[in-house]
Amino acid sequence: MSGTGSGDDGSSANPTDPPASLEVPPDPLAGHPATAYFWGHVAGSGDVSATGLEVVTNDEASAQVLAAIAGGDVAHDTVSREYAHDASITRTEDEYTLSIDGLLGRSSPRSLPVDGRGGYRFGAFARHDRDLLRGLLEGCGTICFKSSSGTVGISFVHDDRELLERCRALIADCPVDAPTDDLAETSSGGYWFGVEDDAAPAFGTWLYETCEETGCFAPSRRRKLEASLEQAAGYD
């Protein structure tokens, strides 16, 4: 993991330590902003088996937040992967994998909000839809600036069509008017949809505007959103 830095008071501080604003409930399945964010990540980029969970992210700070919420160990690797929309293009990026032994006190994956078999039970997080959606976006979504049109692009990509339909329903219920496209197939065999370009800035802003209060966000993803919004605002 990264080295330590020095704080204003001369104390040593790890820049990837979970933020002080992060509150962790005793039950990782309880309705709470932190658990909603965690299970959004599990659904978007995780794997659930009979023996434990794995969650993958390309943001180290986010990986440490997820570990603070649910426990487990974080491992770092560098991987090359295909773009979901065009399998002929690859990119190399850091990857952080959170591994959790066991099922968080439950006896079966079927007792979890994400069971690894296509079951998604997000009812406990109904009051924390923003945190759930942020976890889903960071787990299986992309943010970009579309230079061809000068707009911000927000899309969700996953192999499970049912999960993406759940994402579309959550977005439809959010307080920001954010129409979405119909699902389409990717070149790699999965599915994707995008938030309509005119609505993407407002939706992205709403998604991250309270993230400092909970500490549940990937700093690199927020920076990408802010940079894309700035580029779109200055597009001529």
Q: So where are the chain's domains?
A: 17-233
Q: What is the pLDDT of residue 87?
A: 63
> Using 50, 70 and 90 to split pLDDT, how confident is the model at 17?
confident
CA atoms within 13 A on the CB side of 104: 27
pTM for this one? Answer: 0.89
Q: What is the mean pLDDT of the chain?
A: 90
**Can you tell me the mean pLDDT for 160-187?**
97
Q: Over the stretch 40-72, which tens digit does the pLDDT of each residue have?
A: 999 999 999 999 999 999 999 999 999 999 999
Q: Looking at the domain that runs over 17-233, which CATH code has it been given?
A: 3.10.28.10
**Can you tell me the mean pLDDT for 70-97?**
82
Q: Do the beta carbons of residue 207 and residue 137 sit within 8 Å? A: yes
C-alpha 166/C-alpha 25 separation (Å) is 25
C-alpha 27/C-alpha 104 separation (Å) is 8
Q: Do the beta carbons of residue 95 and residue 78 sit within 8 Å? A: yes
Q: What is the pLDDT of residue 4?
A: 31
Please provide residue 83's backbone torsions phi and psi, each rounded to the nearest 5 degrees: -70, 135
Q: Do the beta carbons of residue 170 and residue 135 sit within 8 Å? A: no
What percent of the chain lies above the pLDDT cut of 70?
90
C-alpha distance from residue 23 to each of 84, 215, 221, 234 (Å): 34, 8, 21, 37
Q: What is the pLDDT of residue 55?
A: 98
CA atoms within 13 A on the CB side of 138: 38
Q: What is the pLDDT of residue 14?
A: 58
Q: Tell me the three-class secondary structure of 89-153, residue by residue.
A: EEEEEEEEEEEEECCCCCCCHHHCCECCCCCECCHHHHHHHHHHHHHHHHHHEEEEEECCCCEEE
> Using 50, 70 and 90 to split pLDDT, how confident is the model at 92?
confident
Burial of residue 69 (number of CB atoms within 10 Å: 0-12, 13-18, 19+): buried
